[in-house]
Amino acid sequence: MAFGDTHGLAQDRAGLIYLAHTVHSSSTSQDAVCVFSPEGRFLRSWGSRFAGGAHGLDLREEAETEYLYHCDTKARLVVKTSLEGEVVWERGVPVESGKYSEGQPYVPTNVAFSPSGGLWVADGYGSHWIHKYTRDGDYVKTFGGPGSEPGKVQQPHGLWVADRGPEPLLAVADRANRRIQYFDMAGGHVRFESRGMRLPCHFDTRGGEMLVPDLQSVVTLLDEDNEVIVQLGDGDPSDLRGKPREEFIPGRFIHPHDAIFLRNGDILVAEWVPVGRVTLLSLVRD
């Protein structure tokens, strides 16, 4: 097996790590989802249907059962599966929204989960809308749309419900606008945040800290007030994207695309490079 661009990461309650990658052209396996032990030992793989399109990967526990949500940018689908890859449902272009009747592109990139059980889908590489669905995949509403003014987004690449204040807010990695944009649960604009942001891709949270993988060579940690705690692996080796792995610089990121907190507080980072790259950052306790 040879990795393509390593795009998505998730960890289940047993500690198993799931990695979504696009599959390199030289690979003898077309499986786009790899499963690893908490220590990083390869266990199994599946998901050949996602080869070439594996992008966003998020996990949610529902009624004590865990499910994976995949965003396939090639097939232009959101697919809900079991942890073993069995499909529960899949959804394509949300024609109910009325936003795609003239052939406007739809390319979902990531999802976020509503506290009430539903989910949002970011059309990050298509027409820049954000769509809300029920847990069963029924369409509810649409908001956002292309632009830079409040409530508008440009390449809404990643989404996360940030329960870090008096009420939960939907954080949107408004990537091409180089900012985070916060919305309320009804889809109304709340505020912008641009401190430390270059090309934010997605999010994860642990306690009061927010983890932001940024395509422009850095992973940023924010506190509850969105102040920058630290920027990890900062550098400017973006010219290494197409270079051999041997030229990559340990401790310096090229294009962080997803990052998650592991259960023990470590951080795992997947990068958008053609041969894949996954980095483990170990939490050092004083």
* 266 occurs within a structural domain: yes
Predicted pLDDT of residue 238 = 66
- State CA 264 to chain mean position distance: 20
* 61 occurs within a structural domain: yes
Which tokens is 103 given?
A: 């052939």
Q: What is the mean pLDDT of residues 73-87?
A: 98
Predicted pLDDT of residue 237 = 66
- How much is the pTM? 0.96
* 73 occurs within a structural domain: yes
Residue 59, beta-bridge partner list:
68
Of the candidates 107, 120, 14, 3, the one whose C-alpha atom is nearest the C-alpha of residue 69 is 120
Which tokens is 158 given?
A: 């990643």
Predicted pLDDT of residue 239 = 81
* 1 occurs within a structural domain: no
Q: What is the mean pLDDT of residues 11-30?
A: 97
The yes-or-no verdict on residue 257 having pLDDT over 70 is yes
* 100 occurs within a structural domain: yes
Please say whether the beta carbons of 59 and 18 come within 8 A.
yes
How many domains does the chain divide into? 1
The yes-or-no verdict on residue 212 having pLDDT over 90 is yes
Please say whether the beta carbons of 276 and 21 come within 8 A.
yes
The yes-or-no verdict on residue 270 having pLDDT over 90 is yes
Please say whether the beta carbons of 170 and 161 come within 8 A.
yes
Which amino acid is residue 153, in one-letter code? V
Please say whether the beta carbons of 114 and 96 come within 8 A.
no
For 137-192, write each residue's pLDDT tens digit: 999 999 999 999 999 999 999 999 988 778 899 999 999 999 999 999 999 999 99
- State CA 20 to chain mean position distance: 10
The yes-or-no verdict on residue 279 having pLDDT over 70 is yes
* 190 occurs within a structural domain: yes
Domain that holds residue 16: 6-281
For 182-196, write each residue's pLDDT tens digit: 999 999 999 999 999
**CA 254, CA 81: separation in Å to the nearest integer?**
31
**CA 277, CA 275: separation in Å to the nearest integer?**
7
Q: What is the CATH number of the domain that holds 96?
A: 2.120.10.30
* 286 occurs within a structural domain: no
* 68 occurs within a structural domain: yes
